[in-house]
């Protein structure tokens, strides 16, 4: 039975960009599960599955609906134990939480703020109004003002990648020799950036860039199917 | 057979302070292994076990000598597979590397710089000369100058604890319901601080403080046997 992944898009339905939806797409591919995607703009998410969710990702797996990327990964791990593991054991589940919190604290604020105008530009008209209103309230300023100065803040962002850089210099993936959900948590953020913007969040000669390239190669080049912005 | 842990001390042999030695002490206790400690000043480390090492921790486990705290944890996991796991599976091993790199990048520089004069004060005379010379070369300034201003930098340090704080708010340990080596990696740093200095690296009302208290309770209060500075 095919799993349905509801995911976020803008004008171009072939360019999903949500980091959390990418985490799930990578996780489904990692498990070798067939899935179809339902692309949605922000303002249609509330109407799907009888109003089941306000946010995506959401998956339908048979009779089961699951939202939240980490919860989806846990569901897949439990429902498909014979497929390649997303966590490599209980320790991997617990420590993936740290990776998630690190990504949310260290990567998402700068990347998210930096992308605001370009995400806005990629959206349909109804979504643009929704996005501007909600994000300007959240960030406390005009989208363009929040993103301004990202060039000056880039060095600090790249410096904050030290733990990631140190690990992927000594092993191919955060997960070790092969990827785990922890890799997808972080790669999802950089894929969000890659699909939306040509801004060079990662320096070309950074081992993090090599790691991200390895992530884009995974699962028959799933991440690369969407060309970079 | 009892394992020997060579560990670093100052004038008071009952107050080991090295973060890396504490990681190993916690790991040995986690495995439920009997161990004896050999306290050493910096300047006697090179003489032990026929010049086997320049740094501690070093353990002797029967015929096997192992140095480096992470390598020791891996050795214990492999040599004593029937004891409680330090990693909770292969995923936990891989992701513990990230925790180590995060701690080394985010915690150790500020804590280490802040403690320099107090570590110096705790050492024997020969060690004091060695410590001042090597650390002043490493940090590029007098011990007292490097540590100066730690009060002003404390807020930034506490802010950098966000990922740790977020995890230990939702689960008792980084390792989940119970501790793993990942917890000891981070707790070792705070124990180093606790044994050497009364400086309040962690705010009293921080969930990180509660987590560290839980770590000090583990293994019959192993960490608490050395009173706080």
Share of chain A above pLDDT 90, in %: 100
State whether A119 and A201 are in the same domain: yes
Tell me, what CATH number does A185's domain have? Answer: 1.20.1050.10
Question: Could you tell me if residue B84 is inside a domain?
Answer: no
Over range B150-160, report the average pLDDT.
Answer: 98
- SS3 label, residue B3: strand
Q: Pull the structure tokens for residue A185.
A: 């948590």
Q: Where are the beta strands (DSSP E) in chain A?
A: 3-8, 35-40, 58-61, 64-67
Domain end marker among B79, B112, B146: B79
Q: Is A167–B85 a contact, with Cβ atoms under 8 angstroms apart? A: no
Closest partner residue to A99 (CB to CB) among B95, B104, B106 is B95
Closest partner residue to A89 (CB to CB) among B90, B98, B170 is B90
> Which DSSP helix (H) or strand (E) runs through B61?
strand B58-61
Confidence label for A169 from pLDDT (cuts 50, 70 and 90): very high
Question: Could you tell me if residue B18 is inside a domain?
Answer: yes
User: In this predicted model, what pLDDT tens digit does every residue of A63-101 receive, in sequence order?
Assistant: 999 999 999 999 999 999 999 999 999 999 999 999 999
State whether A70 and A124 are in the same domain: no
Q: Chain B residues with CB inside 8 Å of A74's CB?
A: none
Question: Could you tell me if residue A18 is inside a domain?
Answer: yes
- As a whole number of angstroms, the distance between CA A94 and CA A92 comes to 5
A vs B, Cβ pairs < 8 A, gives 126
- As a whole number of angstroms, the distance between CA B224 and CA B203 comes to 19
Question: Could you tell me if residue B180 is inside a domain?
Answer: yes
Over range A125-132, report the average pLDDT.
Answer: 98
HSE of B69 in the Cβ direction (CA atoms, 13 Å)?
A: 25
What integer pLDDT is reported at residue B1 of this predicted model? 77
The sign of the dihedral angle between the CA atoms of A85, A86, A88, A90 is negative
Rounded to a whole number of angstroms, the distance from the CA of B70 to the nearest CA of chain A is: 14
Q: Is A97–B180 a contact, with Cβ atoms under 8 angstroms apart? A: no
Closest partner residue to A91 (CB to CB) among B105, B163, B180 is B180
How many CB atoms are located within 10 Å of the residue A19 CB? 25
Tell me, what CATH number does A74's domain have? Answer: 3.40.30.10
State whether B29 and B132 are in the same domain: no
When scoring B27, B30, B90, B91 by the number of chain A Cβ atoms within 10 A, the one with the most, hence best to mutate, is B91
Q: Are strands A64-67 and A58-61 parallel, antiparallel or unpaired?
A: antiparallel
Domain end marker among A79, A110, A140: A79
Share of chain A above pLDDT 70, in %: 100
State whether A98 and A74 are in the same domain: no
State whether A122 and A46 are in the same domain: no
Spell out which chain B residues touch chain A, with contact meaning CB-CB distance below 8 angstroms.
Answer: 85, 87-99, 101-102, 104-106, 162-164, 166-167, 170-171, 173-176, 180, 182
Question: Could you tell me if residue A85 is inside a domain?
Answer: no
Domain encompassing residue B157: 90-223
Angle at the Cα of A167 from the Cα atoms of B169 and B168, rounded to 5 degrees: 5
What integer pLDDT is reported at residue A1 of this predicted model? 77
State whether B49 and B11 are in the same domain: yes
Number of compact structural domains in chain B: 2
pLDDT over 80 (residue B147): yes
Question: Could you tell me if residue A57 is inside a domain?
Answer: yes
Question: Could you tell me if residue A167 is inside a domain?
Answer: yes
Q: Chain A residues with CB inside 8 Å of B91's CB?
A: 85, 87-89, 91-93, 95-96, 175-176, 180, 182
When scoring A84, A89, A95 by the number of chain B Cβ atoms within 10 A, the one with the most, hence best to mutate, is A95
Question: Residue B58 gets which letter from DSSP?
Answer: E
Four-CA torsion B32, B36, B40, B45, nearest 10 degrees: -80
The pLDDT mean for chain A works out to 98
State whether A61 and A169 are in the same domain: no
State whether A99 and A212 are in the same domain: yes
Question: Could you tell me if residue B32 is inside a domain?
Answer: yes
Please, what's the b/e burial string for A69-89 (b: 16 or more CB within 10 A of its CB; e: otherwise)?
A: bbebbbbbbeebeeeebbbbb
State whether A67 and A101 are in the same domain: no
> Which DSSP helix (H) or strand (E) runs through B6?
strand B3-8
pLDDT over 90 (residue B37): yes
Over range B12-35, report the average pLDDT.
Answer: 98
């Amino acid at each position: 039975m095919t799993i349905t992944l509801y995911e976020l898009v803008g004008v171009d339905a072939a360019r999903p960009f949500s980091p959390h939806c990418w985490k799930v797409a990578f996780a489904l591919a990692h498990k070798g599960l067939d899935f179809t995607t339902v692309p949605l703009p922000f303002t249609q998410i509330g109407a799907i599955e009888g109003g089941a969710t306000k946010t995506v990702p959401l998956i339908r797996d048979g009779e089961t609906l699951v939202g939240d990327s980490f919860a989806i990964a846990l569901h897949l791990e439990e429902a498909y134990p014979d497929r390649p593991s997303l966590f490599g054991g209980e320790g991997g589940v617990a420590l993936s939480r740290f990776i998630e919190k690190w990504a949310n604290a260290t990567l998402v604020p700068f990347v998210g703020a930096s992308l605001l105008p370009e995400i806005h530009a990629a959206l349909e008209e109804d979504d643009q109004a929704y996005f501007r209103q909600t994000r300007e309230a959240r960030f406390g300023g005009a989208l363009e003002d929040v993103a301004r100065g990202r060039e000056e803040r880039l060095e600090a962002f790249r410096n904050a990648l030290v733990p990631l850089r140190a690990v992927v210099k000594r092993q191919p993936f955060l997960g070790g020799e092969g990827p785990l959900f922890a890799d997808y948590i972080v790669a999802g953020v950089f894929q969000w950036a890659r699909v939306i913007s040509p801004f060079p969040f990662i320096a070309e000669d950074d081992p993090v860039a090599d790691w991200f390239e390895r992530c884009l190669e995974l699962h028959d080049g799933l991440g690369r199917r969407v060309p970079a912005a």
